[in-house]
Amino acid sequence: MSASTQRKQRVLTGYRPTGPMHIGHWFGNVENMLRLQEEHECFYFIADWHMLTTHFDRTAELPGFTRELVLDLLAAGIDPDRVTLYRQSDIKEVAEMTLLLGMITPLGWLERVPTYKERLRDAAERDIANYGLLGYPLLQTVDITIVKGELVPVGEDQVPHLELSREIVRRFNRLYGPVLVEPQPLLSETPLIPGTDGRKMSKSLDNVINVRDDEETVRRAVRTFITDPQKVRRGDPGRPEICPVFTLHRRFSPDILAWTEENCRSGALGCVECKTNLADRIVTYFRDFRERREELEHRPGLVEEILAAGAAKVRPVVEETMKAVRDAMHLS
């Protein structure tokens, strides 16, 4: 088979609708999704059931969050004519297969996933120690295998989740025959994007800049960023390697990066000017996105139309997988 006719491998990735997309999402997820749609057969889904694992008390917001996320993805450049974009909860077979795979998944496998305890720790003020959160990797396994996903984009910290999925698939295939496709990791860069307080940008930490924020909101947020504590005033030499503002300059300001570093270290560049320069570039970087997003906002019915088309496209694959699973397990 020639390279020009070789079948593209199927990539599966999901995105939880938990609120506005911020710039950490953009560089951690969206840029990768844009690249992958050029290279692979991509199945992208809105992970609304996954959202419930930590936001089960905010279901009234789910329809709005879903709509906003789809519009954000479209404005970013995700092309529904090139990828299959669908909503997880529209595929009811996902729930059935999660039940079936749950029967063969040892509890200890789920308890050893490091991100489970990390999420409990990060949300210590909320009661999220529920079955859904513990079973998150199992639901993730079903998301992948029910559509015959071959490649899953993951960062290094997500490899244990995918390895668990692979173990579950191997166990099912040993018990019932070679039915499920064992997914492979597609390692991707997951850059640490700092928030206004210097920690990883996260909605739960209230330290984000959203990609669709207007100019004044962006400038106000950038002004609140912490900087090098030893650089109190202009003239003090700075240490850009520890400064969250400079970390963002690496993403947004390649044209003045060397100048910024040199003048920060010498003390010639003050933090106020440095932040102003960063805000200018963030505003410019996302200007086209905001304009496209505004246009899409005025197209009623667009989101549901796209999600319905995606569900219709993915359903034959899902039905084929479920028939094979039921037959292998001798279920009607």
Phi then psi dihedrals of residue 45, to 5 deg: -130, 150
Q: Where in the chain is the domain with CATH 3.40.50.620?
A: 10-193+300-328
| DSSP annotation of 194 | B
What's the count of helices (H) and strands (E) in the chain, helices before strands? 16, 5
| DSSP annotation of 30 | I
What pLDDT shows up at residue 130?
79
Q: Which CATH number fits domain 213-285: 1.10.357.10, 3.40.605.10, 1.10.240.10, 3.40.50.1370?
A: 1.10.240.10
Q: How far apart are CA 144 and CA 170, in angstroms?
A: 14
Burial (CB < 10 A; 0-12, 13-18, 19+), residue 316, is exposed
What pLDDT shows up at residue 116?
66
Residues linked to residue 154 through DSSP beta bridges, in sequence order: 187
Residues linked to residue 41 through DSSP beta bridges, in sequence order: 10
- Per the CB < 8 A criterion, the answer to whether 50 and 88 are in contact is yes
pLDDT in tens, the chain (332 residues): 444 457 899 999 999 999 999 999 999 899 999 999 999 999 999 999 999 988 888 999 999 999 999 999 999 999 999 999 999 999 999 999 999 999 999 999 998 887 766 666 655 566 667 788 889 999 999 999 999 999 999 888 788 889 999 999 999 999 999 999 999 999 887 788 999 999 999 988 899 999 999 999 999 999 999 999 999 999 999 999 999 999 999 999 999 999 999 999 999 999 999 999 999 999 999 999 999 999 999 999 999 999 999 999 999 999 999 999 999 999 97
Go through 204-234 and write b for each residue having 16 or more CB atoms within 10 A of its CB, e for each that does not.
eeebbbbbbbeeeebbebbeebbbbeebeee
Q: Which CATH class is domain 10-193+300-328?
A: alpha beta
Query: What does the CA dihedral 258, 261, 263, 267 come to, rounded to 10 degrees?
Result: -170
| DSSP annotation of 46 | E
Tokens of 110: 């789920």
Q: What's the one-letter identity of residue 30?
A: V
What pLDDT shows up at residue 3?
47
Sheet holding 10-15, edge to edge: 84-87, 41-46, 10-15, 151-154, 184-187
Q: Where in the chain is the domain with CATH 1.10.240.10?
A: 213-285
